[in-house]
Amino acid sequence: MQTVIKSSRISKNYKGFQAVKDVSLNICKGEIYGFIGLNGSGKTTTIRMLLGMIKPTEGACYIKGEKVTSTNHRIWRSVGHIVETPHCYPELTVLENLEIFRRIRLMSDPEIVPRVMEQLHLTRYAQKKARNLSLGNTQRLGIAKALLHSPEILILDEPMNGLDPSGIVEIRTLLQDLALNKGVTILMSSHLLREVAKIATKIGIIHKGRLIQEIESMQLSERLNQQLVIDTRNNASAISQLTTAGYASKINNDGLIETTDGRAIRNPDEISRLLVYTGFAPTTLTVKEENLESYFLKITEREGEKLQ
Ligand SMILES: Nc1ncnc2c1ncn2[C@@H]1O[C@H](COP(=O)(O)OP(=O)(O)OP(=O)(O)O)[C@@H](O)[C@H]1O
């Protein structure tokens, strides 16, 4: 598949401090790449390098195969972006802001502005000054600005920032539609791990400036640990039946039986039959999956230990 956004071993040093170390990204057409990391891990610095806003100390970035430099302006025609809090003119209205960006982009069709306002649910704020918008609507204005020229690539730093839950769903649906139906390639950074898990086709985890893991969303559930959690009327006796049958189990902090035995997780009905047969019929039996947050914390802690 065609690589659209690429960084080749980029690093950024600030007076001896390495904010980004040796990060290589290859993002293919139509992919939604979720870039996650703790505060200060290097997400914005990487995005700024990809957008040519700062120069890598080492390595290079490429958009559609063309090297990102301060003079190669042509590539930005196909890119829409937001970096941190989106820039707008605070004394101008939403409509005026978008009109200015339309003219800067030399787009002749004036209908584009109302269309994008509609798409981002900004029409009712058209006459509101940008400085009076909520953080969520400022974010929408930033996304509207990024979408104005129908770019085939979107590079978005924390696009969900400040949005309420329904706003998050709206933006998620919009980005998914752009990627799936229009082949737009999206790189988005976020600290909203749950959101990233829902939307991304691939997830990159950056920690202390290093890209420590990349996971295809298809592989995500394989990587997340699963547990079979069981409750019976007598968990102390039921657990001894399970251990005798070879299923390593423990009683968790809630007093429930918990096992990470793969055979038990794959065949919960077998466990249920065994317990019924031995007189400890389960009252509940559920397979629980580790969520992305705890997975993320686990691997960043592990990496943190390695880096010390
Ligand atoms: N201009 C700069 N001069 C010196 N240090 C910088 C500069 N810009 C960023 N840093 C440092 O580089 C590191 C990475 O910062 P960056 O903004 O890329 O992180 P981030 O992952 O985007 O964090 P957040 O989620 O908080 O926005 C931080 O320690 C930050 O303080």
CATH number of the domain residue 34 falls in: 3.40.50.300
Distance CA 190, CA 150 (A): 22
Residues 85 and 230 grouped into a single domain: no
Give the model's pLDDT for residue 304: 66
Give the model's pLDDT for residue 55: 95
In degrees, to the nearest 5, what angle opens at C-alpha 27 toward C-alphas 22 and 155?
90
User: What's the gap in Å between 295 CA and the centre of ligand 1?
Assistant: 23
Residue 232: count of CB within 10 angstroms of its CB? 22
Q: Which of 15, 21, 41, 210 should be mutated for ligand 1, with most atoms under 8 A from CB? A: 41
Give the model's pLDDT for residue 71: 83
Residues 51 and 12 grouped into a single domain: yes
Q: What type of residue sits at position 295? A: Y
Residues 83 and 231 grouped into a single domain: no
User: What's the gap in Å between 149 CA and the centre of ligand 1?
Assistant: 29
In degrees, to the nearest 5, what angle opens at C-alpha 287 toward C-alphas 286 and 288?
110
Computed from CA positions of residues 84, 88, 93, 97, in that sequence, does the dihedral angle turn out positive or negative? negative
Residues 207 and 152 grouped into a single domain: yes
Q: How many CA atoms lie within 13 A of 170 on its CB side?
A: 15
Q: Which among 289, 248, 255, 288 has a CA at the least distance from the CA of 271?
A: 248
Give the model's pLDDT for residue 307: 57
Ligand 1 binding pocket, CB closer than 6 Å: 14, 17, 19, 37, 39-45, 191
For residue 73, is it within any domain? yes
Residue whose Cα lies nearest atom 12 of ligand 1: it is 19
Q: Which of 44, 188, 193, 206 should be mutated for ligand 1, with most atoms under 8 A from CB? A: 44
We report the CATH number of the domain holding residue 245 as 3.30.70
Give the model's pLDDT for residue 78: 92
Give the model's pLDDT for residue 126: 96
Q: Which of 23, 45, 47 should be mutated for ligand 1, with most atoms under 8 A from CB? A: 45
Give the model's pLDDT for residue 308: 57
Residues 206 and 262 grouped into a single domain: no
Residues spanned by the domain of 78: 3-89+148-221
User: What's the gap in Å between 39 CA and the centre of ligand 1?
Assistant: 8
pTM (predicted TM-score): 0.82
Query: Which among 164, 193, 221 is the end of a domain?
Result: 221
For residue 113, is it within any domain? no
Residue whose Cα lies nearest atom 29 of ligand 1: it is 40
CB 224 within 8 A of CB 260: no
Residues 253 and 191 grouped into a single domain: no
Tally of domains within the chain? 2
Name the strand (E) or helix (H) holding 300: helix 292-307
Query: Which among 200, 221, 242 is the end of a domain?
Result: 221
Residue whose Cα lies nearest atom 17 of ligand 1: it is 44
Residue whose Cα lies nearest atom 19 of ligand 1: it is 40
Residues 190 and 256 grouped into a single domain: no
User: What's the gap in Å between 19 CA and the centre of ligand 1?
Assistant: 6
Ligand 1 nearest atom to the CA of residue 12, by list position: 12
For residue 59, is it within any domain? yes
Residue whose Cα lies nearest atom 2 of ligand 1: it is 14
State the 10-residue block means of pLDDT for the chain, 308 residues long: 94 94 96 92 95 95 93 87 82 95 90 94 95 88 92 93 84 91 93 84 93 88 84 96 95 94 91 94 89 81 69
